[in-house]
A and B are shown apart, each in its own frame.
Chain A
Amino acid sequence: MTDQTSLTTEPKPIPGITWLLALVPLLLLGIVITYLVVTEGGLTELSGPPVEQLLIERIVLPEAGIIEVHVINDGPQEMTIAQVQVDDGYFMFEASPSTVIPRLGSATFTIYYPWVEEEAHRVVLVSSLGALFEGEIAVAVPTPQLSGSLFIQFGLVGLYVGIVPVGLGMLWYPFMRRLSKQAMNFILSLTVGLLVYLAIGTWLDANEFATTIPAFWQGVPMVLFVALISLGILLALGNLKKSTEISALGVAYRIALGIGLHNLGEGLAIGAAFASGEAALGTFLILGFTLHNITEGIGITAPIVHNRPPFTHLILLLIVAGSPAILGVWIGGFAFNAVLATIFLAIGVGAILQVVWEVGKLVAKETHKLNLPFVNWVNLSGFVAGLALMYFTAFMVKF
């Protein structure tokens, strides 16, 4: 009670004053900033030599005799690119909008160089202070231009990598429906294993993209935050429905979503491989991914074996999980953007983790019904089988 009396003796807040008080530190901050900008705060002696940093985002070969280099200045200050070397020689070039690149600004350098089909080239941008920024053209082929036929062909690649294997995997649905409860637990555990594999893979891929994006994006923490936030949002959405019963169909959709985002990443990689002239590897990858992704169809349908969802739901699940691969190939091939790729993959990590949690709970519930411990030989071998299937089929796509 004494606490209450002391509270009532507090000065009565006047709304205007409260807001003014909140503004005081900001006003002072403004003064400090102005002081530092105008007078350099007596730190002139501390200012070191200029630091130059430049990220080569993309090298494009639009036609014979032309190399386009897209760069972004992710260093601490403005910088100037004075000259351009290709294969240890200076060549004429044009810069757009300018050779002077402000902090966080970007520029495109068009170099007039007779590059040689299927051979390697090295582009070096030389700054006004003589620093070198190097980009490699591993295999020179004309960068795919957006055309109707190539659009369709890239779409086909996405189809082979996404829709076809997921659809084939889902065709095990009638078979799974005839399985015993124990066998179903094996399949659900297998799904968990496969999802854990995908979560780790997607995480690593997201981080790989994250290291290639401009420094100010803080790629690696960004991946972590985006993954955590998407995991949180999906968990919160799952808790919206007050019913304690998990909707099996809902779980299937969320698995499909997570797998879809993962397949988007695979599509991006394949599209980018074609764009950077590694068409041979791209084709080899298609076969591998078709095999690798077939397990995903099992994972999506495993939670719904006891339901009888309308056929349209199965088609929709297939589209959610498979079609992002098509989208990925298009984006990767025609308009690759590492920042967006990083964000999408990070969302994928969150989404997959969320379904690992949900399917895990499902396994726990089903196992409990059979009066078995959660970790038993059946569940464990299912989990290991899931990991192993993904791991060994990945031999086709990792090199």
Chain B
Amino acid sequence: MDRRIHRSISRRRFLGAGAGGVASMLGAGLLGLPTQSHDSISQPHPTPTTHGEGTTAHNSMMRQMLVGAVDHMRNGFDPMKLLVDWDYGTITGQTETGQSIREYTISAGDIEIEIAPGIFFPAWTYNGRVPGPTIRCSENDHLLINFANFGSHPHTMHFHGFHRAEMDGVDGEYRGAIAPGEQFTYEFDADPFGCHLYHCHATPLKRHIHKGMYGAFIVDPLASRPPARELMMIMNAFDTNFDGGNEIYAVNTVGHEFMRRPIPLKVGELVRIYLINIVEFDLINSFHLHAHFFDYYDTGTTLQPTLRMVDTIIQAQGQRGILEFRPRYPGRYMFHAHISEFAELGWMGFFNVVAEADYAAALAEVGLDVEWDFKSMNGNTISQSGGR
């Protein structure tokens, strides 16, 4: 008796099965089943879901997207606001050599976060959010990172930048991992300037990273960069069933968030993106911008672009850089990983480019206000009058 009903057979095996080819046509002819259908299969509708005229119900539903919306209030953070949420710490004094002493308070903890509508993930976090706070300072500041571990596992903070071995935040070396209930202060100079990152370096490293322990570390150059609308994007992903592969990909944690809420930009303004890849398990990630070309500053450690006029860059885990471009025409422009699988699993979003006059409306449309606009335009530490 036939045993193939519930046994899954691969396409290859199916093709290889005995008299497949001839019998296929025979069988289909006998039963009048279609062997080849030339019925047009509906294409995904390019505009957002509207039960509009001229499309069938399922046509407008056929969107490459996660269904529903994430409760950002419950999560305690909003990916849209993380784009411009710079943490300047507090200036608490000066060193003998005249450097500003900038102090930060970071605590590790366990929290369950909604990473896609309806999907909850048991995260390990810095300051209760994924990614952790965007630590921003200016070149040559003397940093004190007061780290306390309120989590259930030992954690560290490992910064990418110049520092002494004692401050490297690696499990088993010098101070090593900070046990639950303990605290430690990492102390080093902000050097070199650039777009950096920090992450937990406790063992096992893979688990500590993909559970959410990472954040951006931006050091502004003393020779300031030109004013721009600045955005911080961490490309991250989550392995929800812990099988060593990611189920949800995103920028700033929530899959397809910027599909639902396009990021508002103005025509002609300079846009600067601090882009960091922290995705675990996959060898590379990428960023592709539709209809525009950008200059790229690898690791952000130079004031001159390391790549000019490109529309796609790739980053391995831990790689990062700065993108600069000027939106040329109004309209919605997609940005996503040019690894289609990642895009379809959540790492895909829109910029909404509008004229100056329409900007307030574009902000309101996605639940933002002038404060967000101000933060995005005034990120640079150098232009700040000290800390806040």
List A residues at the B interface (Cβ < 8 Å): 64-66, 80, 82-85, 88-94, 99, 112-120, 126-132, 136, 138-139, 141-142, 144, 149-150, 153-154, 157, 201, 205, 208-209, 212, 265-266, 269-270, 272-274, 276, 278-285, 336, 338, 397-399
B39 to A64, Cβ gap below 8 A?
Answer: yes
B4 to A278, Cβ gap below 8 A?
Answer: yes
The answer to whether the Cβ of B59 comes within 8 Å of any Cβ in the partner chain is yes
The answer to whether the Cβ of B73 comes within 8 Å of any Cβ in the partner chain is no
* Chain A residues near B26 (CB-CB < 8 A): 280, 283
Contact segment of B14-22, B157-165, B278-286 = B14-22
A130 to B18, Cβ gap below 8 A?
Answer: no
Question: Complex Cα distance A136/B13, Å?
Answer: 14
**Known A114-B41, A279-B28: A399·B33 in contact at CB below 8 Å:** no
Question: Complex Cα distance A11/B138, Å?
Answer: 98
* Chain B residues near A282 (CB-CB < 8 A): 27, 31
Cβ contact of A90, chosen from B59, B120, B344, cutoff 8 A: B344
**Known A64-B42, A85-B345: A153·B118 in contact at CB below 8 Å:** no
A281 to B118, Cβ gap below 8 A?
Answer: no
Question: How many residues from B make CB contacts under 8 Å with A?
Answer: 63
Cβ contact of A279, chosen from B31, B118, B256, cutoff 8 A: B31
The answer to whether the Cβ of B91 comes within 8 Å of any Cβ in the partner chain is no
B2 to A281, Cβ gap below 8 A?
Answer: yes
**Known A92-B65, A139-B11, A399-B17: A112·B5 in contact at CB below 8 Å:** no
Cβ contact of B2, chosen from A80, A88, A154, A270, cutoff 8 A: A270
A283 to B27, Cβ gap below 8 A?
Answer: yes
* Chain B residues near A139 (CB-CB < 8 A): 11, 14
* Chain A residues near B42 (CB-CB < 8 A): 64-65, 114
A80 to B118, Cβ gap below 8 A?
Answer: yes
* Chain A residues near B4 (CB-CB < 8 A): 273, 276, 278, 281
Apart from A64-B39, A92-B62, what 19 extra A-B contacts exist at CB < 8 Å?
Answer: A64-B37, A66-B58, A82-B119, A83-B116, A85-B345, A92-B67, A114-B41, A114-B44, A128-B118, A129-B240, A130-B241, A144-B33, A272-B5, A278-B4, A279-B28, A281-B4, A283-B26, A285-B2, A398-B3
List B residues at the A interface (Cβ < 8 Å): 1-6, 8-11, 14, 17-21, 23-24, 26-28, 30-37, 39-44, 49, 58-59, 61-68, 116-121, 238, 240-241, 247, 255-256, 340-341, 344-346
Question: Complex Cα distance A138/B35, Å?
Answer: 15
Q: How far is the CB of B63 from chain A (nearest CB, A)?
A: 5
For chains A and B in complex, what number of residue pairs have CB atoms within 8 angstroms?
185
A83 to B2, Cβ gap below 8 A?
Answer: no
Please indicate which of the listed interface residues B39, B49, B58, B256 has the most CB atoms of chain A within 10 Å of its own CB: B58
Q: How far is the CB of B280 from chain A (nearest CB, A)?
A: 15
Closest B residue by C-beta to A134: B8
Question: Complex Cα distance A144/B19, Å?
Answer: 23
**Known A279-B27, A279-B28: A112·B6 in contact at CB below 8 Å:** no
B247 to A112, Cβ gap below 8 A?
Answer: no
B241 to A131, Cβ gap below 8 A?
Answer: yes
